[in-house]
A and B are shown apart, each in its own frame.
Chain A
């Protein structure tokens, strides 16, 4: 029954929806359909290649290409950083949720100002003496201390969130410099540290090395395994953990922790529970839904990732070990101009994501019971 009021509703609905729906159809839904259809053809950007339907040929090609499994392995490998990053976020969130007030706001303010003055004085002296690097670190320490003592957990949270918020091409280039095997900060620090103890350590090759932590496994030959060590994949993982650990996941955990009813903790205090027991039997189980959400989103994001790092830092190398599936899709589509093949790979990636998510979902649901 379409009453005039009802019809007016539909008219208004369409009006409100129109811009967004149009964009959605043209730039999201339409391309998804086109991409799916295109993966069954010889769709290419090269003018010389005619468009022909070739059925499952693209998929057969990609499954029979040994390099596909290599790149899939690379993609999965980078997910290894995920549990570390999530555990790190959880740890930080728990840490930040502790009681941090020092005997009232005025005491905090006094302590903060004292530390600020103290820092400025010492920094000034050190600068005058010429050890500017140490002075600089001390200055940073002083700023962090003053902010932290005065603002408490909100202050620290700001510092922890910065790597996530500023993540992008800029920070990737920054880390690329840090990883330079001869002149980067990390390797220079490692060798200097070794010299302190009179040891001559050879620092890891990072972005130039095909070694990896799983390098001791007997991998197939075309996986270009360089053996056990710290190589390009570890470099990317460490950078990823740095960028993610204080980010959205930590914020979600903070919200989750603040939602835990305090009566649960009070009850455990009466029973004389230790800090670890509180965490294991109250905090962690209560955070299960948040953890589940974070894990699922993390896996979905992680399987799609690695493109920026590959393009900016390594061009997929050395010897292809940092080529993830998303980077592979890019090279197939925009370097070989093979759009049909690239589309096939992206749909296979989608199916992998779906399968993994479903497994997670079922596991998560069962765990919730």
Chain B
């Protein structure tokens, strides 16, 4: 019995190694000096951790003697800034709307919700082009507003939270009503705290999705100072494509915070997925 379990562990370990080998290579290559990049080795003989300083524009590139032309720190700030705004706006607007769908009675409520559901089926590409035209009209191209506002609304968030709220027993609502609470108070003091798992899951999904979002920033951004990390990596590849070690260092800095976020929030995230998928 014990041997079988041991073998199971070995099997799982082998699979885990296979899945993480690309990350290991990424880590190892990020500190290689340029002339070692093309060797078949995971670890450099001559480690050059300054690659990170070079990407962060703290040290010049040893081959050209100049600092990198691309503002990686600003991209980092932009990604986090924009993703945070989008997350908070989404969580707020979605939870408010979900409350309206889950707890309030009004004519046409279910039809409107069906409309929300229907639009979730439509490929994102369909709305990209008109949204771009709108941004052009509002002069929001290449601005923070243009990157934040269209991304802050999602039918998915409303859907997820509505399902969640439907699962909260009405007895709490009724208790609050007896105490004379208005809808707003019920929402803030009763529903929101109980919906916390759903809110957290939505927040993580939204933050991650926006942090890694590529298409919308690609068409919205013109100046290097407005780029987000994914779009920045594209121009990094275009301009310094031969310097694999620098690109890998940038990728490590892109990926490591996500890994940390995941490890810390694992439990909430997993239960969020299961609830969203199973109930859906």
Contacts and interface: CB of A to CB of B under 8 A. Distances in A.
A168 B130 contact: no
Q: SS class of chain B's interface: helix, strand, loop or mixed?
A: helix
B100 A102 contact: no
Given A162-B23, A326-B125, A102 B219 contact: no
B97 A168 contact: no
A312 B43 CA distance: 26
B85 interface: no
Contacts of A10: 106-107
Interface string A317-351: 00000000010011001100001001100110110
A19 B259 contact: no
B255 interface: yes
A34 interface: yes
B280 A148 contact: no
B96 interface: yes
A20 B91 CA distance: 10
B123 A350 contact: yes
Interface residues of B, number: 99
Given A156-B16, A169-B212, A188-B40, A16 B127 contact: no
Contacts of A248: 273, 277
Given A16-B97, A100-B9, A189 B233 contact: no
Contacts of B178: none
Interface stretch (A59-67, A222-230, A300-308): A300-308
B130 A34 contact: yes
B121 A300 contact: yes
Given A20-B96, A173-B247, A185-B40, A165 B208 contact: yes
Given A12-B183, A156-B12, A162 B19 contact: yes
Contact of A346 (B45, B126, B153, B254): B126
B229 A27 contact: no
Given A102-B2, A160-B16, A311-B234, A255 B278 contact: yes
Contacts of A87: none
B48 to A, nearest CB: 14
B130 A19 contact: no
B255 A31 contact: no
Contacts of A170: 229-230, 233, 250-251, 254-255
Contacts of B96: 16-17, 19-20
B74 to A, nearest CB: 16
Interface of B: 2, 5-6, 8-9, 11-13, 15-17, 19-20, 22-26, 28-29, 37-38, 40-43, 45, 92-94, 96-97, 99-101, 104-107, 109, 112, 115-116, 119, 121-134, 136, 149-150, 152-153, 155, 158, 183-184, 187, 208, 211-212, 214-215, 218-219, 229-231, 233-234, 237, 244, 247-248, 250-251, 254-255, 258-259, 262-263, 266, 270, 273-274, 277-278, 280
13 contacts: A13-B100, A19-B96, A23-B152, A27-B134, A27-B149, A28-B127, A99-B5, A156-B13, A167-B212, A173-B247, A252-B277, A350-B122, A354-B121
Interface of A: 6, 9-10, 12-14, 16-17, 19-21, 23-24, 26-32, 34-35, 38, 45, 92, 95-96, 98-103, 132-133, 135-137, 140-141, 144-145, 148-149, 154, 156-163, 165-171, 173-178, 182-183, 185, 188-189, 192, 242, 245-246, 248, 251-252, 254-256, 290, 293, 300, 303-304, 307-308, 311-312, 326, 329-330, 333-334, 339, 342-343, 346-347, 349-350, 353-354, 357
